[in-house]
């Protein structure tokens, strides 16, 4: 079987055993792709992504703090930039961890190792959302929001109460959806599935020789790939078969892979992402790095698509709300706040077979400025929402109508 056939099979993502000849002197490489994400060596699991689980749990608690007006900025800042041993969380296991959310925000090898200034700028965006929530929204928690005035606003018919700044932005949504891009997506597509990380140092010869990380059951390359997997699926009820409960138990990427999968225009994307993770990991075990890298490109494209689809979806939901005879501003502002967060996340996407995101930081900032100009969501135009939606869709293989429905 030639290498072209292998790549075709890899892209199709069939869950089968692939046998390929890799040269006249090579007896062949066998890729044994399991039915679920289960990889073992000598009867022991070789899959580990505890750090990703920890950061996901930390991020969930930070989001909860955004809805607690008794919290101080110092408290939430400490949660975001946790230091080992500090009692920042209700979960004692998180307190003893040396991990933090802030340290891995905008911290990928490919985008930020040589651009620490931009990384610091992005981290400061998250810091500013925390500060504004505490300084502006919390003091007005019980007051009614209006143009230029932070406070609460309730959805029509006694629905959910939303807490917004003076421009109608739910800062917790900006933080939440922005973090999906700056942490979860960035660490997957620009870090752990990148050759700069997978092939760093002696990873390739050590993986070929089955040299394990000290005291561990896995090679370093296997572990890097699993860390990418963890940023997608750490909160799944069954980490080996996450699509069985897709979108549950999570407020981040896993949830929104599920939301996009639930749109009939994008049905199948969840399996494409999961199967690419699974086949890529099997290829690492087999030492077939061509197949591995094909799967990495699939992961980049499909996860980037998730961010773009949800950005357009929420902008279009906001537009639809503004076109109603009676505008439910709380509902509109909620949709637009989520949309803004996903727009922010576009700078962390990755075009396949490229070193570039689909949108640069400057392009993302320009879109956000358009959304927040003058009085922000209080007077944003439907034309602006359509223009941004069209710009996003034009970079991807979907239409505004498909994503916005």
Tokens representing residue 33 in the block = 């792709």
Distance (Å) of CA 311 to CA 272, 336, 346? 20, 9, 9
Tokens representing residue 48 in the block = 């580990």
Tokens representing residue 188 in the block = 């997957």
User: Where does 115-201 have alpha helices with state H?
Assistant: 116-132, 171-179, 186-187, 195-198
CA quadruple 154, 160, 163, 164: dihedral sign: negative
Q: Give the number of other Cβ atoms within 10 Å of residue 172's Cβ.
A: 23
Q: What is the pLDDT along the chain (405 residues), one digit of tens a residue?
A: 333 333 333 333 333 344 433 333 345 799 999 999 999 999 999 999 999 999 999 999 999 999 999 999 999 999 999 999 999 999 999 999 999 999 999 999 999 999 999 999 999 999 999 999 999 999 999 999 999 999 999 999 999 999 999 999 999 999 999 999 999 999 999 999 999 999 999 999 999 999 999 999 999 999 999 999 999 999 999 999 999 999 899 999 999 999 999 999 999 999 999 999 999 999 999 999 999 999 999 999 999 999 999 999 999 999 999 999 999 999 999 999 999 999 999 999 999 899 999 999 999 999 999 999 999 999 999 999 999 999 999 999 899 999 998
d(CA 18, CA 243): 23
Nearest to 235 by CA among 103, 58, 24: 58
Distant-in-sequence contacts of 376-381, Cβ < 8 A, 24+ apart: 376/166, 376/167, 376/168, 376/169, 377/164, 377/167, 377/168, 377/169, 377/318, 377/332, 377/333, 377/336, 377/337, 378/147, 378/167, 378/168, 378/329, 379/147, 380/318, 380/322, 380/336
47 torsion bin: left (phi>0), alpha (psi -120 to 50), beta (else): beta
Q: How is the chain split into domains, by residue range?
A: 51-394
Tokens representing residue 232 in the block = 């997608």
Tokens representing residue 313 in the block = 């979806």
Tokens representing residue 384 in the block = 């602006």
């Amino acid at each position: 079987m030639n290498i072209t056939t292998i790549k075709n099979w890899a892209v199709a993502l069939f869950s089968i055993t692939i046998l390929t000849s890799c040269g006249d002197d090579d007896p062949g490489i066998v890729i044994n792709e399991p039915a679920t994400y289960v990889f073992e060596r000598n009867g022991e699991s070789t899959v580990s992504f505890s750090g990703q689980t920890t950061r996901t749990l930390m991020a969930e608690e930070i989001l909860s703090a955004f809805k607690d007006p008794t919290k101080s900025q110092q408290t939430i800042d400490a949660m975001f930039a946790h230091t080992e041993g500090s009692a920042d969380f209700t979960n004692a296991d998180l307190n003893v961890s040396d991990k933090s959310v802030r340290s891995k925000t905008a911290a990928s090898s490919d985008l930020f190792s040589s651009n620490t200034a931009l990384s610091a700028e992005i981290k400061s965006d998250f810091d500013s959302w925390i500060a504004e929530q505490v300084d502006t929204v919390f003091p007005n928690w019980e007051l009614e929001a209006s143009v230029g005035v932070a406070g609460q606003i309730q959805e029509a018919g006694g629905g959910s109460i939303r807490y917004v700044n003076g421009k109608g932005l739910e800062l917790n949504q900006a933080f939440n959806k922005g973090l999906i891009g700056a942490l979860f997506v960035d660490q997957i597509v620009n870090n752990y599935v990148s050759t700069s990380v997978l092939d760093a140092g002696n990873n390739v010869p050590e993986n070929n020789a089955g040299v394990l990380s000290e005291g561990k059951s896995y090679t370093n390359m296997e572990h890097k790939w699993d860390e990418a997997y963890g940023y997608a699926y750490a909160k799944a009820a069954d980490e080996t078969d996450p699509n069985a409960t897709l979108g549950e138990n999570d407020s981040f990427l896993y949830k929104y892979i599920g939301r996009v999968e639930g749109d009939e225009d994008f049905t199948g994307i969840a399996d494409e992402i999961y199967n690419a993770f699974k086949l890529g990991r099997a290829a690492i075990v087999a030492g077939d790095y061509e197949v591995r890298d094909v799967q990495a490109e699939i992961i980049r494209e499909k996860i980037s698509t998730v961010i773009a689809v949800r950005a357009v979806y929420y902008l279009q939901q906001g537009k639809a709300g503004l076109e109603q005879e009676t505008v439910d501003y709380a509902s509109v502002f909620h949709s637009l706040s989520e949309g803004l967060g996903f727009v922010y996340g576009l700078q962390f996407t990755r075009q396949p077979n490229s070193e570039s995101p689909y949108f640069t930081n400057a392009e993302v900032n320009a879109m956000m400025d358009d959304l927040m100009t003058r009085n922000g969501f209080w007077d944003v135009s439907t034309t602006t929402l359509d223009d941004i939606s069209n710009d996003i869709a034009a970079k991807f293989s979907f239409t505004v109508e498909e994503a916005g429905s």
